[in-house]
Amino acid sequence: MKRYMIIILTMIFTLSSFAMAGKVSNSKSKAKKIKYTRAKKSNIKLTAADLAIIDKAIQGNFSNLTNDEKDKLAQFLSDFGANTAHEKGSRSSNK
C-alpha cells in the first residue's frame, strides 16, 4: 500500500511540474522580444595615463578632476556608448 502511495504521489508531482513548466514557457513567449545592435570595436586605445584618470575619477567620485581630465572621460564614455550593443531604435539625447 505504501509503495502505491509513493508511486501515485511521484506521478502527481511529475505531472504538475510539467504543467507548471508549460505555463511558464507560454508566458515567456508572450514577452516582447528586444533586438540589439552589434557591438563595434573601439576607436580609442587606452594608455596607462588614461587608466590612471579613470581610477582617479572613481576614487574621488569625479570631483577631483581637471577640465582636461573631464573632457577625456567624456570622450571615453561617448566612444563606449557608440560602440557597445544597444537596443535597436533607442536613441541617446547626447547624439
Q: What is the pLDDT of residue 6?
A: 87
Q: What is the pLDDT of residue 79?
A: 84
Positions in the chain whose pLDDT score sits under 50 = 93-95
Q: Say whether both 26 and 43 belong to one domain.
A: no
Q: What is the pLDDT of residue 56?
A: 87
Q: What is the pLDDT of residue 23?
A: 66
Tens-digit pLDDT profile for residues 58-84: 888 878 888 898 898 888 888 888 888
Q: What is the pLDDT of residue 95?
A: 46
Cα 19 to the center of its chain, rounded Å: 31
Q: Say whether both 70 and 47 belong to one domain.
A: yes
Q: Say whether both 17 and 46 belong to one domain.
A: no
Domain that holds residue 15: 1-31
Count of domains forming the chain: 2
pTM for the model stands at: 0.50
Q: Say whether both 24 and 54 belong to one domain.
A: no
